[in-house]
Amino acid sequence: MAFLTRLSKASSLARACLSRCMSNLPENTVYGGPKPQTTDQRVTLNQLKQKYRKGEPITVVTAYDYPSGVHLDTAGIDICLVGDSASMVVHGHDTTLPISLEEMLVHCRAVARGAKRPLLVGDLPFGTYETDTSQAVDTAVRVLKEGGMDAIKLEGGSPARITAAKAIVEAGIAVIGHVGLTPQAISVLGGFRPQGRNVSSAVKVVETAMALQEAGCFSVVVECVPAPVAAAVTSALQIPTIGIGAGPFCSGQVLVYHDLLGMLQHPHHAKVTPKFCKQFARVGDVINKALLEYKEEVTNGSFPGPSHSPYKMNAEDVNGFFKELEKLGLDKAASAATEAAEKKNAAQQPGATKSQSD
């Protein structure tokens, strides 16, 4: 009888294990919600808070598509920001203003498919959150539900935008604020100009950052301000600051993927890399060289060669194909197919020369 009891318990345990193995729900979770079923879990706000408390710098990169998302994932970047700067970097506009919410959602979804580990933050584009709090919340909800983001970012400054941030936080959505140079406000800023370079402007940067913190933002981007101003903002806040062109005294740093890799230049910087950006590579030079080599090899006929023409027909099928083309009255096509097969065979022979393969 004791043996049967042990057997029954073992059977129950086996069924439980089988159920777990067959289940699509992650282990050790109360709810089975949308969590990645991999060993590398998504970065959370709590993890970012812990890094901030320990004084560990937070890494942020702005990206716009699936390949860049994969690269950020592989590198272990903390936050991936899908920025409205896609308007300039990807779509070729002179400002961030033209990009639409629908276009931003396409970028968000593409990045989300590639970046499985970083916290994903989507920018609210110009004109999608300024009217009233209902518009702001509706837009933020779409960025999470349709874009696959974990949080949103919006540019602070005006009382209306700070009110929008508060409403979005109260709707249960995490928000990053943005102070200093706010590209969506270039109309009133008079262009892409650094901020905080005089007393009143510097104080405004600090006060706006504090207002965004009060509204419930979990972090604030500080863009294009003198380092002492960024240091003051970082000291005044109890949430992380993410600097871009703001010196080394922030809680973390953000750069645009294309900028830090040296892939291209922004129109508003007169075809040069932003002064605050360090190029960690010159990928653009590599791309240009590769494209020139590709053009040259196609032009001189060396590409594609035998190693890049991998698909084959056996001699019997080539002959049968030739006959079928002749039946269709396509004698010229039949001759072309036979000649191509002969050239390919000759090129694959040991010691074949370029002239034999042409």
CATH number at residue 63: 3.20.20.60
Number of H helices, E strands in the chain: 15, 8
Enclosing domain of residue 338? 312-344
Residue 192 domain-assigned (yes or no): yes
pTM of the model: 0.81
Statement to judge: residues 108 and 49 lie in one domain: yes
Last residue of a domain, one of 257, 280, 303: 280
**pLDDT digits (tens), the chain, 358 positions:** 554 444 454 455 444 444 434 334 444 555 544 444 444 689 999 999 999 999 999 999 999 999 999 999 999 999 999 999 999 999 989 889 999 999 999 999 999 999 999 999 999 999 999 999 999 999 999 999 999 999 999 998 789 999 999 999 999 999 999 999 877 766 555 556 777 789 999 999 999 999 999 999 999 999 999 999 999 999 999 999 999 999 999 999 999 999 999 887 555 444 556 777 888 998 988 998 999 999 999 999 999 988 888 888 888 998 999 999 999 999 999 999 989 888 887 776 766 554 444 4
Distance CA 140, CA 78 (A): 21
**How many domains is the chain partitioned into structurally?**
2
Q: In this predicted structure, what is the pLDDT of residue 263?
A: 87
> Which one, of 59, 47, 29, lies nearest residue 250 by Cα?
59
Last residue of a domain, one of 265, 280, 295: 280
DSSP 92-152: --SSSTT--HHHHHHHHHHHHHH-SSSEEEEEPPTTSSSS-HHHHHHHHHHHHHTT--SEE
Residue 307 domain-assigned (yes or no): no
CA 248 to chain CA mean position, Å: 24
Query: 324 catalytic, yes or no?
Result: no
Statement to judge: residues 194 and 321 lie in one domain: no
Q: In this predicted structure, what is the pLDDT of residue 271?
A: 52
Q: Which of 56, 102, 207, 223 is catalytic?
A: 223
Residue 155 domain-assigned (yes or no): yes
Type of residue at 78? D
Q: In this predicted structure, what is the pLDDT of residue 273?
A: 62
Buried b / exposed e over 30-53, threshold 16 CB at 10 Å, is: eeeeeeeeeeeebbeeeebeebbe
Q: How far, in Å, are 174, 321, 324 from residue 317 at the CA level?
A: 62, 6, 10
Note the pLDDT tens digit of each residue in 241-260. Answer: 999 999 999 999 999 999 99
Residues in the chain: 358
Residue 83 domain-assigned (yes or no): yes
Q: In this predicted structure, what is the pLDDT of residue 276?
A: 79
Q: In this predicted structure, what is the pLDDT of residue 181?
A: 86
Statement to judge: residues 316 and 181 lie in one domain: no
Q: In this predicted structure, what is the pLDDT of residue 239?
A: 98
> Contact 138/128 with Cβ under 8 angstroms?
no
Statement to judge: residues 241 and 339 lie in one domain: no
Residue 9 domain-assigned (yes or no): no
Statement to judge: residues 244 and 326 lie in one domain: no
Last residue of a domain, one of 280, 299, 322: 280
Statement to judge: residues 235 and 155 lie in one domain: yes
Q: In this predicted structure, what is the pLDDT of residue 312?
A: 86
